[in-house]
Structure 1
């Protein structure tokens, strides 16, 4: 692709032409607990000037870097809400590096009453290893759910059914507060559609994870950070929203005093009953040339709900020892009730007309608990961390269906099944960081992941001859799945030639899997995962980086569960216990530019090659046996390893403040996909896919804001036909009052169209069994909605009187 080559050369040229200049580094910590302070504002002033010449914010470890500084004298000013301002300097810069060490901020000496705390943090932040979307600052999304926020996150796309892709890859590792949870393995769409946006502080996107991270997730990692509050005092917030499609609410309470803090939250969501219209038209031909046409015209009434709750604590035992812990509980459920008119037309035979009624249900309970211990040594940056995290999920899938010929009283086919299961996962890790010098940092660690899955299915089948429902042992089954992963890693971060910042490492993972299912054996295997990120800060506002990593995608519970869903006996879905891990190699070249007034531009060129590529695949059978039952003219859909996939493309995200009132954010990804089907002998597929959205915000007044948001996904050719395009749009307004402690909002989605039409085609060429298959399915998804939301923040910040101290750092001799 010539345009990629041109841009690559331009970026490399920018690096070569950059000049070597000086920099100032340091770390910001709490003066009492010595805990790192993230998001503190660090501004730099040239000596004698009252206007800052640049600045940055601290990362999650309190570190900051001010580089690409011209020769001269500078002073550094640090600010963070609830602390006294800190001034350091002046420092003499002559193409050298000045490390100011740890700067201790002292709490403000004022006694504050009920106040509103507002941190002016950009909505989008680009860091060396991740992109951060500060959802708490996106006030018009607060009445929605996690999926509504994810649509706005750079490099992320969400389709009409809530399926998430990162740089065009659907295999994404989801974390909550940096930790895994079994709830994501059971039903990802339900979790993301049930988690209120008001509960989310930020979303981190990591497309090229370092060696410290698990290798799981081909597309990378999406880490959802829930709200907390590290400011001392008692405070919290309450949020409610009600609408024509969705209702949700959340409550948070935070209590912190001295070295101990505790927070609790509860949130819930309910999607009201909505009716989706379906038309399916399918034509098949067997090896003898006989054709069959099935037409299904019906509807399904769908609803879902869920709630989450948890308690977290943070305890600083001393200035160098800290313990954090959490306990959480989550519940999700959905239900789909449908009725379908069916017409089966077979060569030379009269049409067969029938009616199908179906019901399918799913629910999941998940318990999570964790304990994290950190110890800091005397050497700045030297740290030991031990983390224990465990999650236990109980899931249940069930269906029932019956088919009746028109004019008949009794069904000719019926069945039901109940599929309970459990999913337990335990993670134990130890990580150690050792600065070898001011410019070199060494990291190492080890981790164990233990996962156990148990699943059973009891099938009740109907005998039309005896009109009796009875347990069918030939269709029922039990499954035990045990997976152990042992991993270790090393990583080295350093500065080369005072020009490049490099972080490189390697991770070795050993996977041992045992499965108790007929005819299934999974051998153990090792995965070596190299990672590297090379970045260069061109100036105080521009950074370029190039990265490489290897990723692996191991099948989740919902993909391997062999439960056969017969709620539609003509269109059967099931899991695949034989799925092999998918391997991906990821290259990325990125350029980040900070614009004035908090704006940002990020351009990424990426290339991803996946082997053992996993795709959803549909096969057609004239006869398909399940136990001792035979189903005729059926399609069977599951996930399979089909071959290889190459994705090459560009992702562009930007936030442009045209004025103090008007802000434009855009997110566009263009991907060239090349898929090779090595299993079924189908043709290779080449397709260009576009994912784009635009978010326009206008500040009508200091307390009144309006927003418009549009989201577009282009259609895509795949290995079996074509997936549809879709276009959605939202409008929102929000008014703040009570000194910005409370707000009300109005949100609408697709107000001018009740349905979003989704036309999907599936084609299967003649295979070894001689079957051909063509179908199209039209779904009319009800997406139009109108809703109101309310939010209230409360609290009292209490800062004890501290001893007067000198808040000026003395100059360091250079």
Structure 2
């Protein structure tokens, strides 16, 4: 802690000194204008505007004009530039130079007239609208707002279509098959996602999402947490002057949603607000499951579950630029969600009845194995919510790119869970459980950037994260053959109850050096040191649990070497990542909600450590995009849930079941390759697809060798294929297919997943409004999800039929009047805040302490 505050003090002193001695300017600005037809003086929509260095041949950036012919190029550094405007059947217009200076960083080019020449069609590149998938030097970007099949959906639907990402039936997100991925919102963490990632994603309307960024090899500047990488959800915002907003929504057989946003941008002040929510109609799934220990020792059940779900999210942001050197930003996001589940089950279960000695009135009875049939009914309710409040201050200096960012965040999340299960047999106690969890995170962060010259840049920073989690789990037991038993008749069971508090402090510092080398080479090297300190206090009346402490240091080196040849980039990266287990994995309480399938956490878990090497190639060929990667990942301290058989004695009978505990089972070697591309074979058609395949080759250690039933090398994959058609008159259509293979563990497989989505949209009122139709799996009412596990002395299976077919209608309407700012407007600045990339997520939706 002392080192962190020392670093902040040094950075403040540096800021003060630099502010006094001055230097070259680091202000960035914008170049704007309006493109018109020189003959008709009508605006040209979707004209391509590219920016080059004056006299250069390779574009630095580009935008498209809007329906009024307006364009704006943001984040333009001081200097001389060349602006090139192109549009099908029009002459290419070049303006060189366009000069921006520290005194006037913004340049309004005014009206730019271009002449129509039909014969030039074959020589002009048709750029169209922004691509749905873009490849950048450090990430892949999925532009969700360009995908019409996502209207009316939620963030989980968006994630299913992101390259290299897969989502299972429960909403658990994986990147290249690894669920150890950190999901951020606008570069910032959310307290609600710490233990409820799958549920929170289902509560965010897709209409709030602009894009999703995929970062597979983060530099040392990012937190070391998240062995698979980072997924950053970018929400919609407006970077124009004036007042604007939109409303959208959808109604369907699967879910319903609505969303509204308002944006006020005037001079140096920017205020935005957004609110959206959704709810699903109740859906019923049917499951056949069982655990077999031998031919006469088993539990089989046929069950059904009816689930309804709701969620909403609201956010507000305020930013103010005091001048070209100082700005302040504050934003807050609130979320609330939950779901209810009602289930019933018809089960057959074997029990052992021990031998009885003869008495004066009864004869001796031998030990026998008996089968019992019983019914059960359960209901549960889960609610979660909280807020994330971020504040950051940006201080820029006169030297271009020289700045310091200081940020703080408070993230608060709560989860409340309660359930009741009753049985028609007295061999199983009725159970009622109540779990209340609270998660608070406090973060301080400082980042410093210094471009020494145009060939060398230094970045350094420090960060502290303080997590304070608590969980209260109360259990109540009863005994009744009546499925309508009154919950008030339950008795508190101290042996099944648990209180748990968990404190985690993380202190980190990093340095990143970036070199621009001759012959289009670039080199980035970085190092990060993280210290983790943990203290846990579990308490149960009969378990004898004791407090525990753990601390460890992790050194994270990173390397990235790239080479650019025309429109192609080759990149070699190496990074080391850490995956700390979250509260779900660590809480040692025993969850006996299902008496034949008990789970418990393990406070002795060590973090997973992954070393990751990747070779990547990306290129642009006309309007086509291709990205190919080959990678290798070695993971030590691999964490998996291990199920082992146990015997439960209750009164004069005993039954068999399994108990699952998270363990560091050994290490895993994984080789993989991924490909995705986007092509335009004809003007109106875009085809895009992705496939990622990787090996799973676990090497269990010690006693886990006996528990393992999967000990070979297996190939897993996830893939998608999509086609979109843009027709005249504002019509558009899209079809999308998703395929995910079963996921492997050392004890078996979890379900595979596939989905077919079709959507049609019509725009009208000058593209301010639209109506859409979409369907999920139109020809299959239900989807099958199968799990098969095998361990020492047992086999386990679960086959679920879940309703997925749905039809829906969506709408959107944008309102307000906006304009692009002139050269007297203040400089737009890239906003920055806290970014916590950490905590291993659970394999299913659960609240703190579950």
Q: TM-score, normalised by structure 1?
A: 0.84
Find 2:498's aligned residue among 462, 467, 477. Answer: 477
Cα contact 2:348–2:374 (8 A) shared by 1 = yes
Cα contact 2:180–2:227 (8 A) shared by 1 = yes
Superposed CA deviations along residues 36-74 of structure 1, whole A, max 9, x for unmatched, are: xxx995344997x9xx875634999937999xxxxxxx9
Worse-matched range after superposition: 312-321 or 714-723: 714-723
1:526 aligned counterpart, secondary structure: strand
Which residue in the other structure is 1:321 paired with? 326
Which residue in the other structure is 1:264 paired with? 273
Worse-matched range after superposition: 465-474 or 421-430: 465-474
C-alpha separation in 1, matches of 2:128 and 2:327: 25
Which residue in the other structure is 1:768 paired with? none
Cα contact 2:78–2:101 (8 A) shared by 1 = no
Find 1:733's aligned residue among 744, 757, 760. Answer: 760
1:214 aligned counterpart, secondary structure: coil
Which residue in the other structure is 1:191 paired with? 200
The verdict on how the C-alpha distance between 1:78 and 1:531 changes in structure 2, with shifts beyond 3 A counting, is farther
Worse-matched range after superposition: 442-451 or 714-723: 714-723
Pairing 1:777–2:798 present = yes
C-alpha separation in 2, matches of 1:630 and 1:183: 43
Find 1:513's aligned residue among 509, 534, 547. Answer: 534
Which residue in the other structure is 1:29 paired with? 29
Which residue in the other structure is 1:16 paired with? none
2:550 aligned counterpart, secondary structure: coil
Find 1:391's aligned residue among 375, 395, 411. Answer: 411
Find 2:811's aligned residue among 790, 793, 798. Answer: 790
C-alpha separation in 2, matches of 1:185 and 1:801: 43
1:502 aligned counterpart, secondary structure: strand
Cα contact 1:176–1:224 (8 A) shared by 2 = yes
Cα contact 2:191–2:413 (8 A) shared by 1 = yes
1:529 aligned counterpart, secondary structure: strand
1:675-694 to 2 correspondence within 5 Å? 675-678=698-701, 679-681=703-705, 682=708, 684-694=711-721
Pairing 1:712–2:725 present = no
Cα contact 1:304–1:333 (8 A) shared by 2 = yes
Which residue in the other structure is 2:21 paired with? none
1:318-397 to 2 correspondence within 5 Å? 318-345=323-350, 349-397=369-417
Pairing 1:576–2:584 present = no
C-alpha separation in 2, matches of 1:624 and 1:149: 47
Worse-matched range after superposition: 737-746 or 186-195: 186-195
Superposed CA deviations along residues 692-747 of structure 1, whole A, max 9, x for unmatched, are: 11011011324111111001112344311223333210111011111000111111
1:199-238 to 2 correspondence within 5 Å? 199-238=208-247
Q: TM-score, normalised by structure 2?
A: 0.80
Pairing 1:62–2:75 present = yes
Find 2:681's aligned residue among 646, 658, 665. Answer: 658
Find 2:555's aligned residue among 528, 535, 538. Answer: 528
Cα contact 1:373–1:387 (8 A) shared by 2 = yes
C-alpha separation in 2, matches of 1:472 and 1:558: 22
1:555 aligned counterpart, secondary structure: coil
C-alpha separation in 2, matches of 1:63 and 1:690: 41
Pairing 1:419–2:424 present = no
Find 1:158's aligned residue among 152, 159, 167. Answer: 167
2:230 aligned counterpart, secondary structure: strand
Which residue in the other structure is 1:558 paired with? 584
The verdict on how the C-alpha distance between 1:421 and 1:450 changes in structure 2, with shifts beyond 3 A counting, is same
Pairing 1:544–2:590 present = no
Superposed CA deviations along residues 236-281 of structure 1, whole A, max 9, x for unmatched, are: 1111011111111111100010010100010101122100100012
Find 1:672's aligned residue among 657, 679, 695. Answer: 695
1:11-30 to 2 correspondence within 5 Å? 29-30=29-30
Deviation at 1:680, TM superposition (A): 1.7
Cα contact 1:419–1:563 (8 A) shared by 2 = no
The verdict on how the C-alpha distance between 1:284 and 1:528 changes in structure 2, with shifts beyond 3 A counting, is same
The verdict on how the C-alpha distance between 1:203 and 1:163 changes in structure 2, with shifts beyond 3 A counting, is same
1:602-617 to 2 correspondence within 5 Å? 602-617=627-642
C-alpha separation in 1, matches of 2:730 and 2:244: 21
Pairing 1:635–2:662 present = no
C-alpha separation in 2, matches of 1:606 and 1:366: 38
Which residue in the other structure is 1:42 paired with? 50
The verdict on how the C-alpha distance between 1:565 and 1:41 changes in structure 2, with shifts beyond 3 A counting, is farther
C-alpha separation in 2, matches of 1:741 and 1:576: 54
The verdict on how the C-alpha distance between 1:799 and 1:677 changes in structure 2, with shifts beyond 3 A counting, is closer
Pairing 1:503–2:559 present = no
Find 2:82's aligned residue among 69, 76, 96. Answer: 76
Deviation at 1:192, TM superposition (A): 1.2
Pairing 1:435–2:443 present = no
Alpha-carbon RMSD across the aligned residues, in angstroms, is: 3.2
Which residue in the other structure is 1:297 paired with? 302
Deviation at 1:232, TM superposition (A): 0.7
C-alpha separation in 1, matches of 2:520 and 2:820: 43
2:727 aligned counterpart, secondary structure: strand
Worse-matched range after superposition: 609-618 or 376-385: 609-618
Superposed CA deviations along residues 296-329 of structure 1, whole A, max 9, x for unmatched, are: 0010111211111111011111011111110121
Superposed CA deviations along residues 654-713 of structure 1, whole A, max 9, x for unmatched, are: 111122210011010011111122242235332101211101101132411111100111
Cα contact 2:388–2:410 (8 A) shared by 1 = yes
The verdict on how the C-alpha distance between 1:78 and 1:421 changes in structure 2, with shifts beyond 3 A counting, is farther
The verdict on how the C-alpha distance between 1:404 and 1:586 changes in structure 2, with shifts beyond 3 A counting, is same
2:713 aligned counterpart, secondary structure: strand
2:194 aligned counterpart, secondary structure: helix
Cα contact 2:464–2:507 (8 A) shared by 1 = yes
Deviation at 1:136, TM superposition (A): 1.6
C-alpha separation in 2, matches of 1:45 and 1:586: 36
Cα contact 1:413–1:462 (8 A) shared by 2 = yes
C-alpha separation in 1, matches of 2:74 and 2:764: 35
Which residue in the other structure is 1:14 paired with? none
Name which structure has the greater RCO, CA cutoff 8 Å, separation 6+: 2
C-alpha separation in 2, matches of 1:231 and 1:90: 22
Which residue in the other structure is 1:138 paired with? 147
C-alpha separation in 2, matches of 1:527 and 1:470: 47
C-alpha separation in 1, matches of 2:823 and 2:414: 50
Cα contact 1:550–1:584 (8 A) shared by 2 = yes
Deviation at 1:445, TM superposition (A): 0.4
C-alpha separation in 1, matches of 2:795 and 2:342: 26
The verdict on how the C-alpha distance between 1:364 and 1:122 changes in structure 2, with shifts beyond 3 A counting, is same
Which residue in the other structure is 1:252 paired with? 261
C-alpha separation in 2, matches of 1:420 and 1:460: 15
C-alpha separation in 1, matches of 2:253 and 2:761: 18
- Listed as ranges, the gaps of 5+ residues in structure 2 are 1-25, 33-46, 64-71, 87-92, 112-126, 353-367, 539-544, 826-850
Deviation at 1:617, TM superposition (A): 2.5
Deviation at 1:613, TM superposition (A): 0.7
Cα contact 1:27–1:103 (8 A) shared by 2 = no
C-alpha separation in 2, matches of 1:667 and 1:311: 35
Worse-matched range after superposition: 118-127 or 165-174: 118-127
The verdict on how the C-alpha distance between 1:511 and 1:615 changes in structure 2, with shifts beyond 3 A counting, is same
Cα contact 1:303–1:336 (8 A) shared by 2 = yes
Deviation at 1:608, TM superposition (A): 1.0
Which residue in the other structure is 1:457 paired with? 473
Count of residues in correspondence between the two structures: 727
